[in-house]
Chains A and B, each alone.
Chain A
Amino acid sequence: GNSVTQMEGPVTLSEEAFLTINCTYTATGYPSLFWYVQYPGEGLQLLLKATKADDKGSNKGFEATYRKETTSFHLEKGSVQVSDSAVYFCALSVGDYKLSFGAGTTVTVRA
């Protein structure tokens, strides 16, 4: 089946620190990969995505590269801000519309 495993949290770091959230997947086909983010008190929203191998998704200073050889889609940001405090979800879809999500990683950035 299709599944996503992402780094367990919570993660706490200081402003301007480097953030990495690991995400690996198993899929019975060729998936599209996503990172969704849920800010406090808000709904889930798409952060970035990649639909084929070696593609890099980027948004708001975050990046993730679709690595087929390692079945990974790690999320990175070089210098986090307090406003990046949120829950981050890695997800995939294979050949259809269903999204399979990881458990989520809570990130807290301290000033």
Chain B
Amino acid sequence: GAGVSQSPSNKVTEKGKDVELRCDPISGHTALYWYRQRLGQGLEFLIYFQGNSAPDKSGLPSDRFSAERTGESVSTLTIQRTQQEDSAVYLCASSVSGTSGETQYFGPGTRLLVL
């Protein structure tokens, strides 16, 4: 079956521009996560969606970052007024129900470069 897909795979933008990243989770997975991976570092948790519950936004680094999810399908991560420190790989993952210990399935990521 299809895995998690993300688009675009690469994005180059100028400082100050807004960018929108998209994630399509595995069909039937109610939980969706966004992570950020800076060069040479591990992944940082950004935000979590579970069904129709309020999302956990505790990992978002600033109010320039926001994310939405429509039901149990597509999610978009938006970064407004991008800064050079936003350059990273943004990874989306999904899992069946979001419980502790559950396997998260990752997409290939969007590599963002802010010039």
A44:B91 contact, CB within 8 angstroms: yes
Q: A49-B103, A99-B104 are in contact. Are A43 and B109 (CB under 8 A)?
A: yes
Q: A44-B91, A44-B106 are in contact. Are A94 and B100 (CB under 8 A)?
A: yes
Q: How far is the CB of A106 from chain B (nearest CB, A)?
A: 10
- The one of B45, B56, B108 in contact with A99, judged by C-beta atoms closer than 8 angstroms, is B45
A97:B99 contact, CB within 8 angstroms: yes
* Chain B: interface size category: 20 to 34
A49:B101 contact, CB within 8 angstroms: yes
Closest to B45 in A: A98
Task: Give B contacts to A, CB under 8 Å.
Answer: 3-4, 31, 33, 35, 40-45, 48, 50, 56, 59, 91, 93, 95, 98-109
Complex-state Cα separation, A104 to B50, whole angstroms: 27
Q: How far is the CB of B49 from chain A (nearest CB, A)?
A: 10
A42:B42 contact, CB within 8 angstroms: no
Residues of B within 8 A of A96 (CB): 100
Complex-state Cα separation, A36 to B106, whole angstroms: 10
Contact of A93 with B by CB under 8 A:
yes
Contact of A81 with B by CB under 8 A:
no
Q: Which of B33, B44, B59, B100 has the most CB of A within 10 A?
A: B100
Q: 28 A-B residue contacts at CB 8 Å? A: A43-B3, A43-B106, A43-B109, A44-B43, A44-B91, A44-B93, A44-B106, A45-B105, A49-B103, A51-B101, A89-B42, A89-B43, A93-B100, A94-B100, A96-B100, A97-B33, A97-B48, A97-B50, A97-B95, A97-B102, A98-B48, A98-B59, A99-B104, A100-B45, A101-B42, A101-B44, A103-B40, A104-B40
